[in-house]
Structure 1
Amino acid sequence: MDEKERDMEKHVSRTIWVTHKNGISLEAGRKMNEMGFCHGVTGRGGGVSKAPYDSLNVALHVGDDPKAVLENRRRLCQVIGCSLPDITMAKQTHEDHIVAVGAAERGCGAGSYATALDHTDVLMTDEKYTPLLICVADCVPIILYDFHRPACAVIHAGWRGTAARIAAKTVFAMTVAYGSRPEELFAFIGPSISAAHFEVSRSTADIFKKSGAMYASCVYDGEGARTVDLWKVNQLQLKEAGLREEHIAMTRFCVFSHADKFFSYRRDGGITGRMAAFAMLS
């Protein structure tokens, strides 16, 4: 086993795959789960949506039957242990806008896309029983947890958000808003597209290459194709932001490669559902 394989095995051991009685499956950080933190990134099973959104599509903006989506969200709420009207969601725009969710924001987007928080790719809170949810299909979902305050965040990190250092900015926002200490934070980097299937343009690859030698090592120049390891980039950014390496759990799943388990925007030609990355303090 080479160094890269050992590193992957180490991170795989830090995650768990859980299947609930209602058919919903999800991946979560093992240590965060053991600490009693409600979080995870769902698979595509356990819902009622019909193809091509089959079956647990949680997004109202992709062309699926709204009644099916709301039923899917209701079923997810059974897993989370919350009520549908309390879920807080965002209109994700691949930027780096962070919203601190309190009583005034709780429930935005729960029942309609129009009421979701505008231009937002990160939701964070220190309020109990305030479920946060973002939608993902290829982009990297990242969940942060501060056991001591407590506080949490859910992050939608596509390549643009990753290039804008959205994960590190969220760590800083939590230190300012909640007094979090980076070395005490735990992170879960969830199911998303792997480097093997994330082909990018030369200009996109150059953005990461110019970020420094560590980040340049996350870009792979193959024959006629360039790919970027967004998992590794975000892991490096979290470590630079002060998180301990052993506090970062990284997914075992590439969504592109596992059509039976996950939606993938690239694989499915843009017409597909969305998984949920969620977190709730209790």
Structure 2
Amino acid sequence: MKTTMYINNEKFIAGMTMKDKAEPELNNMALHVCKDPEKVLQNRRELAADLNIQVKDFVCANQTHSANFHKVTLNDAGKGSYRLETAVEETDALYTHEPNVLLTSFSADCVPLLFFHEESGLIGAIHSGWQGTVKEITLKLFEHLKQEEGCTPGSFHVQIGAALSQEKFEVDEDVYLKFKNLGYAEEFMYFNEQTGKYHIDNQLAVKRQCELAGIPAEQIEIDRTCTYMSPAGFSYRQDRKSGRHMSFIMKKIGQ
């Protein structure tokens, strides 16, 4: 199974599954876009085995491009892991203090963001497509964690996963104006006079939101793999029927 491992230390493990011709449905991890749910579960079981956990330890959300987030407790373990109907409803970000619970995010061009807080051990996963970025889900969650969970921003470490590159993320003026109205994303966009389209770097816009929350730039890593151009990428823009990557993070037991 192709997996990009971003973090694997004594406290945390985090990564992103990639497209893999050797796996069922090319290693699709999403039940909401699949031909055969059992094949997706087979892929999830293989990932779980690699992580020394079980699929019942996954927590999955029904992502709706919202700015909603959910604090995961042990009672949430297994939600959405075997069946779509049990997923956390209308949520695009998950966070928890609990160990051995795998927080997940599904994407095929959208920006996945994984993070941990060194001091408190809190972890989280965010799904930020362009709608989530415009709604500032990342900034809103980090502000919530600072205010409600007592997290100091300097202790966050962030990994932004593979996503659609600026070259391939072309939009019309309506989407460009939504980003422009944020007031801090102008430098992450350019206009292509030949096509009449705007190009947006959603990864850097999300990174800026992290910085606005007070997270040091040197503690934010970005995987610049383009999900459209890479053979290991699932791209909704390229193929409306594409599978999905699973980005994941877990706090190891005993930490």
TM-score class, shorter: over 0.9
Are residue 237 (structure 1) and residue 186 (structure 2) matched?
A: no
Give the alignment's Cα RMSD to 1 decimal.
1.4
Aligned to 2:63: 92
Aligned to 2:130: 159
Q: Matched residue pairs, number?
A: 250
Q: Deviation per CA, 1:145-187: give whole Å up to 9, x if none.
A: 1121101100000001001111111212222443211111000
Aligned to 1:38: 13
Are residue 276 (structure 1) and residue 246 (structure 2) matched?
A: yes
Q: Deviation per CA, 1:48-89: give whole Å up to 9, x if none.
A: 32xxxx311111111320110000000111222211111100
**Worse-superposed segment, 123-132 or 38-47:** 38-47
Matched residue type, 2:246: A
How do 1:159-178 residues align onto structure 2 when only pairs under 5 Å count?
159-178=130-149
Q: Deviation per CA, 1:100-129: give whole Å up to 9, x if none.
A: 000221110010011101100001000011
Q: Deviation per CA, 1:176-203: give whole Å up to 9, x if none.
A: 4432111110000100101100111201
The alignment's TM-score, normalised by the length of structure 1, stands at 0.85
What is the CA–CA distance in structure 2 between the aligned matches of 1:169 and 1:209, rounded to whole Å? 18
How do 1:113-128 residues align onto structure 2 when only pairs under 5 Å count?
113-128=84-99
Superposition misfits of 4+ residues, deviation over 3 angstroms: 32-36
Alpha carbons of structure 1 residues 67 and 238: separation in structure 2 relative to 1, 3 Å:
same
Q: Shift in Å at residue 209 of structure 1?
A: 1.3
On the 8 A contact 2:163/2:224 being kept in 1, the answer is no
On the 8 A contact 2:34/2:40 being kept in 1, the answer is no
The alignment's TM-score, normalised by the length of structure 2, stands at 0.94
Report the secondary structure of 2:67's partner residue. Answer: coil
Report the secondary structure of 1:180's partner residue. Answer: coil
Report the secondary structure of 2:76's partner residue. Answer: coil
Are residue 70 (structure 1) and residue 70 (structure 2) matched?
A: no
Aligned to 1:48: 23
Aligned to 2:151: 180
Are residue 204 (structure 1) and residue 179 (structure 2) matched?
A: no
Are residue 219 (structure 1) and residue 197 (structure 2) matched?
A: no
Report the secondary structure of 1:256's partner residue. Answer: coil
Are residue 142 (structure 1) and residue 113 (structure 2) matched?
A: yes
What is the CA–CA distance in structure 1 between the aligned matches of 2:140 and 2:22, rounded to whole Å? 34
Structure 1: state its 5+ residue gaps. Answer: 1-22
Aligned to 1:7: none
Q: Shift in Å at residue 25 of structure 1?
A: 2.2
Alpha carbons of structure 1 residues 250 and 195: separation in structure 2 relative to 1, 3 Å:
same
Structure 2: state its 5+ residue gaps. Answer: none
Q: 1:249 aligns with which of 221, 225, 239?
A: 221
Alpha carbons of structure 1 residues 248 and 208: separation in structure 2 relative to 1, 3 Å:
same
What is the CA–CA distance in structure 1 between the aligned matches of 2:117 and 2:11, rounded to whole Å? 12
Report the secondary structure of 2:59's partner residue. Answer: coil
